[in-house]
Amino acid sequence: MKKMLLTVAGFDPSGGAGLILDLQVFRSLGFQGTAVITSLTSQNIQKVFDFKPLSASFVLSQYKILKKDFSWEGMKIGLLGSKFLFPAIREILEDQAGRPRVIDPVFRSSSGTWFLEPSLIPSFLKTISGRATIITPNLPEASLMTGLKIKSLEDMERAARIIYEKTGVPSLIKGGHRPGRIFDFLYTGKKGRFFESQRLPIRVHGTGCLLSAALVAYLVRYKDLEKACALALRFTRRAIKKAFIPRKGRAIFSLIK
């Protein structure tokens, strides 16, 4: 019997991100996936045109109905899109305590649409505080969470420590927005480690979703944060190399064998 994973995330009709991609990642890594939808979006690979958060009661209804049939080994939280979902997310995270819980903070789309305004980020951090295994912000998201302008590797280390001080949650800060070679920084609350890699010459839609989905799968499989991060980053690079470019926009991931 396959182990089950849960994604609580938004719907991207392009299939290049959000829960559609999460489910593909889960299956490609040998897990069966289920999904709770938090927000609907009108978007393609180039731009988000509109989005509609679902109600907290409907999000919780999906979760509770699924729980009647399934139990999960781990879960991830992606796009929320509304402060009114915070209580529902807190309840789900608390209900899944003791299992790997990965938070992929989605505050703003790459095309500029705000899903959570900066003023709501302190409440978001309070919602996940002490209730997650790891959070995976990129540099702009880490800046919004800490108030730092992150330009150097030292800034990344400082930001990770501030995130841990605010939430008690380890973080993997993704360094792809810095020029040159890529440095991603894991901080467990006790120690830190940089993962260095060569930048690939392709921009792909949904890398944050793919990484966080792979991370929860590897956490379930190996139960080791550092090893899971290393494997999820390697998985992401391999997937980027296999991505394909449609008629317009950025590349998107294909199903990984």
Pairing mode, if any, of strands 74-77 and 48-53? unpaired
pLDDT at 257 exceeding the cut of 60: no
Tokens of 232: 């999820």
The predicted model gives 85-93 an average pLDDT of 98
Domain total of the chain: 1
Sign of dihedral through CA atoms 137, 252, 62, 69?
A: negative
Quote the DSSP letter at residue 55: P
The whole-number average pLDDT for the span 108-120 is: 90
- Report the interhelical angle of 225-242 vs 207-222 (nearest 10°): 140
Q: Does a structural domain hold residue 196?
A: no
Percent of the chain with pLDDT over 90: 82
Q: What is the pLDDT of residue 255?
A: 64
Q: Which residues span the domain enclosing 117?
A: 4-139+201-242
Model pLDDT, residue 249: 67
Asked if the model's pLDDT at residue 118 lies above 80, the reply is yes
Which tens digits make up the pLDDT trace of 21-36? 999 999 999 999 999 9
User: Is residue 36 included in any domain, yes or no?
Assistant: yes
pLDDT score for 138: 96
Dihedral sign of CA atoms 136, 138, 144, 150 in order: positive
Residue 203: per-residue pLDDT: 82
Average pLDDT over residues 227-238: 97
Average pLDDT over residues 186-203: 93
pLDDT of residue 177: 79
pLDDT at 220: 98
**Mean per-residue pLDDT for 47-54?**
93
Range list of β-strands (E), 47-163: 48-53, 74-77, 101-103, 134-135
In a domain, 40, yes or no: yes
251 part of a folded domain: no
Averaged pLDDT for residues 41-49 = 88
Dihedral over Cα of 53, 55, 58, 64: its sign: positive
Q: For residue 221, is it within any domain?
A: yes
The domain that holds 121 is classified in CATH as: 3.40.1190.20
Indicate whether 220 belongs to any domain.
yes
Bridge partners of 183, per DSSP, are: 196
What average pLDDT score do residues 85-114 get? 95
Distance CA 124, CA 108 (A): 14
- pLDDT, mean of residues 213-229: 98
Looking at the DSSP assignment, which residues form a beta bridge with residue 5? 33, 74
The pLDDT score that the predictor gives to residue 90 is 98
257 is a domain residue: no
Whether residue 147 is predicted with pLDDT greater than 70 in this model: the reply is yes
pLDDT at 256 exceeding the cut of 70: no
User: Which of the four pLDDT bands, split at 50, 70 and 90, describes residue 7?
Assistant: very high
Q: Is 6 exposed, middle or buried (0-12, 13-18, 19+ CB in 10 A)?
A: buried
In a domain, residue 41? The reply is yes
